Amino acid sequence: MSRKRLSPSIVLAALAVVAAPVIAAGQAVESAWAPAPLEIDGVAQEWAALNPIIEENSRVEYALQNDGKNLYIIMVFKSPMSKTTMDYTGMKIYFTNGAKKSKDYGILFQKKQYTADALIASLKKRGQNPSEAQIAEIRQKPTHIVYTEEVIKPKKAAVAAEETGQFDPPMFRAVEKGRASVCEFRIPLNRLSQIGGINAGPGQQILLGFDWGGMTAQILRDMMAGRSDRSVSAGDRGVSSDAGFGDAESGTEGAGGFGGAGSGVGELNRDPRYKKHSFWIEAKLAGEAK
C-alpha cells in the first residue's frame, strides 16, 4: 500500500500510517498516561507516539490518554461514511464506572455555526446577556463557530459542588482536511467538584459509550428544502477548517444527492450515508506516573 509523506506540521504519524488493531470483545482499551495536560485543538501533536484502535463497524480510529484530572479522547474519521451525519447529531459520549452499560451520564459534544444575530440570541437565551460592546464585536463577523458541551445526567442527579478552579470543564474541538476529520475531547474525571465528571480516578476501569450520526428530522427538513447533503441546517451548520490531519481514505461517495423528495424514510435509514453509529468499550485508565 502506498503511503504519502506527511509534512512536518502533521505530527499524527501513528494514527495516519500505522496498521491499527481492532479490540476484541471483552478486551479493555488501555489509556496512556499524559505527563502534561493536552491541548484540545484537533491538531493532535500529543498523540503521535500512540497506535490507534479501529472500531470494527464504523472504522473510526481512536485512542485514549488521561492524567490525574481528565480523560482525553481522539477520534479520527477517514471517510464521510464513518462520520455520516455527525454534523447534525453531534457526538454523545457516555461513561460509567459500573459493570453495566448506562446512558445516565455523558456529554453531548457539538460544533455549530451561528449567524451573528443567532449567536447573540443564543447567548441571551442562556442568560449571558452580552454587553453592547460585545454585541458590536460579534456583528463584525457574519458567522461564528461555536463548540458546545452539554452535560447528560438524570434529572434527579445530585448537583456538583461549585468549581474550585482545579479542574477543566468538558471540551471539544474538531479539524477537517479533505475527507479526514480529527476530533479531540476532554472529560473531567472528578464528578464531585466538576460538572460533567466521570466519577473515576487514575488506574480505574470504566465503560465508555459513543453515539453519533443517523437520520434526523432536521436532515429531512433540509432535504425537502433542497439543501446540500454535506451541510447541517442553515442556523446550526458545522464548518470545516483547512488545517490539521493528513491523508483521508480514498474512495468516492455515492452518486447523486441525498435522495429526492420522493425517497421514503425507511429507504433513507438504510442508506450508509445516514447510518447511525454506536459502540461501547471497556477502558482502563492509566495509573499516575511515579
The H-assigned helical ranges of 40-172 are: 80-83, 86-89, 116-125, 132-138
| CATH number, position 227 | 2.60.40
Per the domain annotation, does 121 fall within a domain? Answer: no
Sequence-separated contacts (24+) of 154-162 with Cβ below 8 Å: 154/104, 154/105, 157/104, 157/105, 160/191, 160/192, 160/193, 160/194, 160/195, 160/197, 161/192, 161/193
198 pLDDT above the threshold of 80: yes
Per the domain annotation, does 238 fall within a domain? Answer: yes
Distance (Å) of CA 70 to CA 32, 44, 190, 197, 211? 12, 16, 8, 9, 20
What the block records as the C-alpha cell of 216 is 434526523
Per the domain annotation, does 6 fall within a domain? Answer: no
pLDDT at 24: 60
Q: 64-68, 139-143, 166-170, 268-272: which range is least confident on average?
A: 268-272
pLDDT at 253: 30
Is 15:52 a contact under the CB 8 Å cutoff? Answer: yes
Total structural domains within the chain: 1
Distance (Å) of CA 37 to CA 68, 128, 182? 9, 28, 18
pLDDT in tens, 229-255: 433 333 343 333 332 223 333 332 322
Give the distance from CA 285 to its chain's centroid. Answer: 19
Per the domain annotation, does 123 fall within a domain? Answer: no
Per the domain annotation, does 8 fall within a domain? Answer: no
- Mean pLDDT score of the chain: 78
Per the domain annotation, does 131 fall within a domain? Answer: no
Question: Does the reported pTM lie above 0.75?
Answer: yes
Q: 38-42, 161-165, 194-198, 279-283: which range is least confident on average?
A: 161-165
pLDDT-derived band at 21 (thresholds 50, 70, 90) equals: low
Mean pLDDT along residues 171-199: 89
What residue numbers bound the domain in which 35 lies? 13-111+147-284
**Strand, coil or helix: 264:** coil
Is 74:55 a contact under the CB 8 Å cutoff? Answer: no
Per the domain annotation, does 135 fall within a domain? Answer: no
Per the domain annotation, does 130 fall within a domain? Answer: no
